Amino acid sequence: MTMPKASDYFHKFFPEKPINEFLDPLLSYINKSPKIDIGKFDDYIHSKHGDYEKQNLNMGEVLELHYGKDAKVFIEGLI
């Protein structure tokens, strides 16, 4: 996936944050496609939805619950 396409998709699901805040430059370079820092993104999801692990949920489940299956699949492709 190209950076412009990834940026557009990311903005569709998370309009308040640019994808650049989460990009991992080294992984993106190695993979020749945008990759995010899962730790930074996890911190962001926690700031939006609290400590979801206490509800026995993982990040993928939270993404699907709040943003839909397409958002979950998209983010999985970026990690």
Domain ranges of the chain: 3-78
pLDDT at site 6: 96
Residues 3/15, Cβ–Cβ less than 8 Å: no
| pTM beyond 0.85 | yes
Q: What is the largest CA-CA distance in the chain?
A: 36
| Number of Cβ atoms within 10 Å of the Cβ of 15 | 8
pLDDT at site 14: 96
pLDDT at site 27: 95
Handedness of CA 28, 31, 33, 36 (dihedral sign): negative
pLDDT at site 24: 97
* Residues of the chain under the 70 pLDDT cut: none
